[in-house]
Amino acid sequence: MSNKTTTLRAEFNPLIRPYLVVTIGFTMVATIIGIPIAIVWFLGLGQWWARHYFEKLECELTDKSIRFRKGILVQVEKTIPLENIQDVTFIEGPILKHFNLSTLKFETAGASNPAMANMELTGIIDAQEFRNCILSARDALKQNSGASAASLANQDSTLAVLQRIEVKLNEISEHLASKR
């Protein structure tokens, strides 16, 4: 069990289903070879797939990370620590606007493969607000870790002062013992 608390769970716009059907179908048509498959896709397979895909979408923001889950046959779950998030980009193009959707793109640091370091989420309701919540949580986490580092440095200096006081007290104690 994880001790991380969920601070915010994203909800996805149901209009992502027709958006996926249309964009994937038109991609099939564009390949010309995929036209027969696109016909089957538009006649029902795409709608079935998009409905099940939508049901599996999950995204939650915790105090230390953001977790995203998607997939039907192959499920993908990705967790990004907030401290690794460099930027969250808000993307809204003409096709996305037509479906009243937007995309959030996460740019992260610390991954060895740049392609694996980024994540895109399409269809979050109030994506701009969710983006702001993520950036606020990231900044709060960085501020808390900075305060912790300052606290540790302060504890180290306090320990050094106490050790010097202990040495002086031992010297005074030895000096008083030698006078008896």
Helix (H) / strand (E) containing 81? strand 76-81
At residue 112, the pLDDT reads 56
Helix (H) / strand (E) containing 60? strand 58-62
Q: How far is CA 179 from CA 28, 141, 166, in A?
A: 98, 57, 20
Cβ pair 63, 5 in contact under 8 A = yes
Q: Which structure tokens are listed for 12?
A: 């996805």
At residue 2, the pLDDT reads 47
Q: What is the pTM of this model?
A: 0.69
Cβ pair 66, 106 in contact under 8 A = yes
CATH, residue 13: 2.30.29.30
Let me know if residue 86 belongs to a domain: yes
Let me know if residue 114 belongs to a domain: yes
Helix (H) / strand (E) containing 176? helix 127-179
Domain span including residue 139: 6-155
At residue 148, the pLDDT reads 57
Q: Is 45 exposed, middle or buried (0-12, 13-18, 19+ CB in 10 A)?
A: middle
Let me know if residue 177 belongs to a domain: no
At residue 160, the pLDDT reads 79
Cβ pair 102, 86 in contact under 8 A = no
Let me know if residue 32 belongs to a domain: yes
Let me know if residue 33 belongs to a domain: yes
d(CA 53, CA 43): 17
Kindly tell me the sign of the dihedral angle through the C-alpha atoms of 23, 134, 89, 77.
negative
Q: Which structure tokens are listed for 85?
A: 């998030």
- How many domains does the structure of the chain reveal? 1
At residue 111, the pLDDT reads 56
Return the SS3 of 101. Answer: coil
The pLDDT averaged over each successive group of 10 residues in the chain (180 residues) is 67 94 93 91 94 94 91 90 89 91 86 63 92 89 68 70 85 83
Let me know if residue 115 belongs to a domain: yes
Q: Which structure tokens are listed for 79?
A: 């967790």
At residue 115, the pLDDT reads 53
List the 85-91 sheet strands across, edge first: 85-91, 103-108, 119-122
Which residue, among 162, 126, 122, 128, has the nearest Cα to 16 in the 3D structure? 122
At residue 23, the pLDDT reads 93
